[in-house]
Amino acid sequence: MNLRNKTAIITGGAMGIGLATAKRLIKEDCIVTLWDINEAALKEAKQELEKINGRVFIHICDVTDKNRINELAKTAYDEMGDVDILINNAGYVKGGEILEQPVEIWEATIDINLTALVYTIQAFLPKMYENDRGHIVNISSAAGMLGDPGLSVYCATKWAVWGLTESLRFEAFNNKKFGVKYSSIHPSFLAKGLFAGAKLGPLGNLIVPLVKDHDVIAKAIVESALKKGSYSPKRPRTLNLVLRLRAALPDKLFQKVLVVMGVTKSMKTWKGRTTDNKEEK
């Protein structure tokens, strides 16, 4: 996709991956709308992006509120004229084993990480189908490729995001909407942000090192997914080894490899952000 003068919605866009992606899109001469629940962070993001000559709109949005999503979708078309790109980045993480948190926490995890994507996609896909043009990028995770204790429900949502993205790609194919594209993005643990403190063991970290900053993922979104049309960029790229090992090894041996790599203890040192862990990595 040639990004010049394209229009984009980024959920959870005021910080982290969302803001880093907005910066890259603006440098490509895109018009960007940021949705986020954090009003102060939205205002700061707008100021920062306008300093690099960004054309930016901001709106407070709880992505679990489908009525608000539909309202802001209409606003986006009014303000930008069209929506070429939807980046579903908003997310929620709460660490702990499944019995360590109340069910309301797990409901929030599912609502923000998965159900909200249904709302946003249904809001923008009809017009993309009508135009036979558009690209939807969904943020999954390395946790969408393997089970991680202390992240069970989060993992479940991110596995679901990957499956949702692939299924929708084939729906577009079946509907002969070849101009509508989908990508899922799979980041491993980031050194900063929602997963600060989480890490694999020495061997695992050697093979799959921490992602140093949010721009690494923003680059994967813009350069790999949007520009090159990659289906499921993974960062670091060595994450692809997980899929190859899962395919090549007997299940029991693969599980033992995950133990040796330190996956089973990776959340023991997790700290996260000092503020509420709503909004993506």
What one-character DSSP code corresponds to residue 278?
B
Instruction: Give counts: helices (H), strands (E), the chain.
Output: 10, 7
Measured distance CA(115)–CA(8) in Å, rounded: 20
92 is catalytic: no
The CB density around residue 111, as the number of other CB atoms within 10 Å, is 17
Catalytic residue among 77, 154, 182, 231: 154
Measured distance CA(22)–CA(40) in Å, rounded: 17
Q: Which two tokens stand for residue 45?
A: 């993001």
CB of 190 closer than 8 Å to CB of 214: yes
CB of 54 closer than 8 Å to CB of 32: yes
Query: Mind telling me the catalytic residues?
Result: 154
